[in-house]
Amino acid sequence: MRVDKRKIPAGVIRKHVALALRQEKEELRARNKTFISRERKKEIKEQVLLRLRQRFLPVPGEFNVIWLLEKNEVWFASTQSGMIDLFTEEFLQTFDLRLDQLTPYMLAVTMLDEDALLRLDRLETTQFASADA
> Is the CB of residue 74 less than 8 Å from the CB of residue 102?
no
pLDDT in tens, the chain (133 residues): 777 778 888 999 999 999 999 999 998 888 888 888 899 999 999 999 999 988 888 877 788 999 999 988 899 888 888 889 999 999 999 999 999 888 888 888 888 899 998 998 898 888 888 766 5
Q: What is the pTM of this model?
A: 0.50
Q: Distance between CA 115 and CA 112 in Å, rounded?
A: 8
